[in-house]
Amino acid sequence: MKKYVIPIIIILLAIPVTLGILAFAEVEPFYSQASQLFNRVERKIPDLAVAKAEKISVSFLGDLNVVLIPSSSAVADEYYEVDLFEKGELRDTKLLSWNQPEINVKKSKTVIFSLTKEEYHAYYNHDVSNIFSVYVHQ
């Protein structure tokens, strides 16, 4: 039993000493370096999304316009479903495709969804990006 007392005391004393050293050590440079490394690795991961929503807005004609830009993952002449979500709930789906020249130059396309008269009056000239979102997939 006595042979375990000294190692236990050493461990119990080492814990606060280690925590004290870490509290006063400059840990910020480590986090900064780790963050930079993560950003470099993140940039090398291919973009798996087919398209990115550049803008979601209400037009003066009373429609919801979603401007989409194809990513490098988009395939020419393939039809993709554009799911419109309102506060996380699926509201509508449209089809969209790009040809190869459009993908090459990352040509944006606008997908138009209908709004009710009440929605138009409430949302016009307001930021609706916190209300609507889109997901583009096959």
Residues 61, 39: one domain?
Answer: no
Number of structural domains in the chain: 2
CA 12 to chain centre: 44
Residues 111, 70: one domain?
Answer: yes
Q: How confident is the model at residue 131, as a pLDDT?
A: 96
Domain containing 95: what range?
51-137
Q: How confident is the model at residue 80, as a pLDDT?
A: 97
Identify whether the C-beta of residue 66 lies closer than 8 Å to the C-beta of residue 110: yes
Residues 84, 129: one domain?
Answer: yes
Residues 67, 106: one domain?
Answer: yes
Task: Give the chain's length.
Answer: 138
Which range (45-54, 78-87, 116-125) has the least confidence? 45-54
Residues 38, 57: one domain?
Answer: no
59-79 residue pLDDT tens = 999 999 999 999 999 999 999
Q: How confident is the model at residue 53, as a pLDDT?
A: 95
Q: How confident is the model at residue 45, as a pLDDT?
A: 47
What DSSP letter does each residue of 12-41 carry, written as one string? HHHHHHHHHHHHHS--HHHHHHHHHHHHHH
pTM for the model: 0.65
The phi and psi torsions of 132 (rounded to 5 degrees) equal: -110, 145
Q: How confident is the model at residue 6, as a pLDDT?
A: 72
Residues 82, 112: one domain?
Answer: yes
Task: Label the pairing between strands 89-96 and 109-114.
Answer: unpaired
> Exposed, middle or buried: residue 131 (CB in 10 Å: 0-12, 13-18, 19+)?
middle
11-56 residue pLDDT tens = 767 676 665 665 655 555 555 665 665 555 444 445 578 999 999 9
Q: Kindly report the average pLDDT of the chain as a whole number.
A: 84
Residues 58, 36: one domain?
Answer: no
Residues 37, 56: one domain?
Answer: no
Residues 57, 11: one domain?
Answer: no
Residues 121, 65: one domain?
Answer: yes
Residues 57, 26: one domain?
Answer: no
Q: Which residues of 62-96 are buried (b: 16+ CB within 10 A; e: fewer)?
A: ebbebebbbbeebeeeeebebebeeeeeeeeeeeb
Domain harbouring 91, CATH code: 2.60.40
**Does the pLDDT value for residue 98 go beyond 80?**
yes
Q: How confident is the model at residue 15, as a pLDDT?
A: 72
Residues 55, 112: one domain?
Answer: yes
